Structure 1
Amino acid sequence: MMVSNNSTDCSVDDNFKYTLYGCMFSMVFVLGLIANCVALYIFGCTLKVRNETTTYMINLAISDLLFVFTLPFRIFYFVARNWPFGDILCKISVTLFYTNMYGSILFLTCISVDRFLAIVYPFQSKTIRTKKNAKIVCLGVWLTVIAGSVPASFFRSTNAVYKSNNTETCFENFSSDTWKTYLSKIVIFIEIVGFFIPLILNVFCSTVVLKTLKRPITLSRSKVNKKKVLKMIVVHLMIFCFCFIPYNVNLVLYSLMRTQSFSNCSVKAAVRTMYPITLCIAVTNCCFDPIIYYFTSETIQNSIKKRNRPSRKDSRYSDTFVTENFIQHNLQTLKSKIFDNESTI
């Protein structure tokens, strides 16, 4: 709530964020912990064959769990409005938050690009789409997100607040100078590398894949497999756009506000009110990522649906990329008849 009409001296009552954060982060902790532990169990114990896509998914699940494990500290902070755990743990918590968010964005982008190569260039990309190259890409993603997140630990992340009693804040109430000197530069890097470039890649890859699926030669393929690919694309884009676009757009505006690039009180009120809401939406990606695993992997679907009725064919011939069967359907007619129930990713 705006309490001053002076463009150079206005404030917003955003204390509702602590209740919102506490409730939302508690829900994300429970759901995210269960969903990602189940996903890792399936990846580690159920899938007999792993390819480059499952490599990206495993790293995505690990990224989600690392963030989930820090949530109890954040939840305590939001409820008590005090951070008694020290500056180092505050830095670790914040670093893992941004590592998870932008790691998730980049791993989802890897899955999108991998699907693009498999459908649009199924034969030319065979030498590129390997498990070894996928591991190298994952290593590059981890190094990139850590390089963008760790700089937040270069300065003190906790600040003392003196009211009726001494309390500590964690990654809050930074001065305009801190924003101008450090935080704005971090925001610029993570927004360009961690959001805008991946967003362009995701939209481009999905658009080209959709156009490829509409070609006459493609329309003659299996309609069932085509529906699976379309479902993968729709679910992928919906989760990507819902979780990440609102927060990252608002983060740019929030950074401009904190560096005093604009001083309109109405705009400040809107940005500061939307910031905690969009951040809560962003952290739900920990819960939504397993949905991508489910829709992308028929093997995971079979593991859930047929847990007590294992199929010999499914356990022996699992985890082949669905789009490869889709593109090469007419060239592998005999194989398709023999392994009609083959589990795919």
Structure 2
Amino acid sequence: MVSTNCSSEDSDSFKYTLYGCVFSMVFVLGLIANCVAMYIFICTLKVRNETTTYMINLAISDLLFVFTLPFRIFYFVAKHWPFGDTLCTISVTLFYTNMYGSILFLTCISVDRFLAIVHPFRSKTIRTKKKAKIICLLVWLTVIAGSAPAATFRSTNSAKKDNGTETCFENFSNDTWQTHISKIVIFIETVGFLIPLILNVFCSTMVLKTLKKPVTLSRSKLNKAKVLKMICVHLLIFCFCFVPYNINLVLYSLMRTQALSNCSVITIVRTMYPITLCIAVSNCCFDPIIYYFTSETIQNSIKKKNWSNRRKEFGFSDTFPSENFIQHNLQTLKAKIFDNESTI
């Protein structure tokens, strides 16, 4: 028990109803948004760099998680897991793989932007597609290593022995928390959240300081405005989705290992846990926003496609020699001016 004076019962009606509604919306929106993103990455996007490599892996991570949501939604509605221990373990493993994979891939994008703006010359040999692929592989290995230990102990438990109702990754004993789950929490919170949070804040701060230096005054205001908007959107989504859940997870772990015994705090932690979990799950719906604001290449691809469709609607041809000539000269001029700047 958590405490002899504190109620340890969760409000199932509140928790499962919330999970069912939010996970259903996330499934629909996340599936559509990430399928569209993958279509753009694979079929529409002609220019790919190290940033888009991170984005593609992030979208793959989101889709893997989205595909497991129908099983979770059924579980939340029926309050029973009939799919067995293996599928429960896979579902939970993909959940944490997605969450901390998203955190690490977003951190990779933040570090890549930091190198491109703060160290544009020295980072030319570092920021390559080949090295980006190697980093992505290391990220996958890290999140899998952090999530895999969940498979070492039974993920399903009998909630009611009289009718055989099974729960998935719930109702673990305090001993299980102390011997297994708490150790997993320590690893994923350190490697998957704390270090990436520090890197994101540091990189964003350094980029903002660099933009204020006189050497960057020659850059257009529009370019600076885009970078500022990029940083704001990135940090906002990162902090909104991941900070509340990970802070609450630490407190929840302390509660389950009996290191936290204050009844008022325990009540708040138990109430906030499903809320922060739902916010964290919504990250796969917000990631496509990161794609748009982070990559100018994607913006241009979408705008070009929309402009092409509009010209077809009004009966214009797809090619205008004079327009292409002007665009070519403008792009050439821009390339000469920003020749020393790396693509973000």
TM-score (norm 2): 0.89
Aligned-partner Cα distance in 2 for 1:159–1:283? 23
Aligned-partner Cα distance in 1 for 2:264–2:161? 28
Pick from 2, 8, 13 the counterpart of residue 11 of structure 1: 8
Aligned AA (1:193): V
Aligned-partner Cα distance in 2 for 1:78–1:151? 24
What secondary structure does 2:305 align onto? coil
What secondary structure does 1:190 align onto? helix
The Cα offsets for residues 78-111 of structure 1, whole Å up to 9 and x where unpaired, read as 0000000000000000000000000000000000
Q: Which runs of 5+ in 2 are unaligned?
A: 309-317, 325-330
Task: Flag the 1:204–1:308 CA change in 2: closer, same or farther, 3 A.
Answer: closer
Aligned AA (2:283): N
Residue 200 (structure 1) aligns with: 198
Find out whether 1:334 has 2:333 as its counterpart. yes
Aligned AA (2:271): T
Aligned-partner Cα distance in 2 for 1:79–1:62? 27
Residue 188 (structure 1) aligns with: 186
Aligned-partner Cα distance in 1 for 2:10–2:104? 34
Residue 97 (structure 1) aligns with: 95
Aligned-partner Cα distance in 2 for 1:62–1:333? 35
Find out whether 1:66 has 2:64 as its counterpart. yes
Aligned-partner Cα distance in 1 for 2:220–2:266? 53
Pick from 271, 274, 277 the counterpart of residue 273 of structure 1: 271
Deviation at 1:12, TM superposition (A): 4.0
Residue 154 (structure 2) aligns with: 156
The Cα offsets for residues 185-237 of structure 1, whole Å up to 9 and x where unpaired, read as 00000000000000000000000000000011212211111111111100000
The Cα offsets for residues 96-128 of structure 1, whole Å up to 9 and x where unpaired, read as 000000000000000000000000100000000
Deviation at 1:303, TM superposition (A): 3.5
Between the aligned residues of both structures, percent identity stands at 82
Q: Which runs of 5+ in 1 are unaligned?
A: 317-331
Q: Report if the CA contact (8 A) 2:159-2:171 is conserved.
A: no
Find out whether 1:286 has 2:284 as its counterpart. yes
Deviation at 1:60, TM superposition (A): 0.3
Residue 229 (structure 1) aligns with: 227
Deviation at 1:333, TM superposition (A): 8.2
Residue 327 (structure 1) aligns with: none
Aligned-partner Cα distance in 2 for 1:214–1:338? 19
Deviation at 1:259, TM superposition (A): 0.5
The Cα offsets for residues 271-314 of structure 1, whole Å up to 9 and x where unpaired, read as 0000000000001100000000111123323343442534889x
Q: Report if the CA contact (8 A) 2:88-2:156 is conserved.
A: yes
Aligned-partner Cα distance in 1 for 2:10–2:69? 24
Residue 323 (structure 1) aligns with: none
Q: Aligned pairs, how many?
A: 321
Aligned AA (1:218): T
Residue 143 (structure 2) aligns with: 145
Structure 2 counterparts to residues 1-345 of structure 1, below 5 A = 7-15=4-12, 16-162=14-160, 165-310=163-308, 334-336=333-335, 345=344
Residue 324 (structure 1) aligns with: none
Task: Flag the 1:67–1:6 CA change in 2: closer, same or farther, 3 A.
Answer: closer
Task: Flag the 1:121–1:173 CA change in 2: closer, same or farther, 3 A.
Answer: same
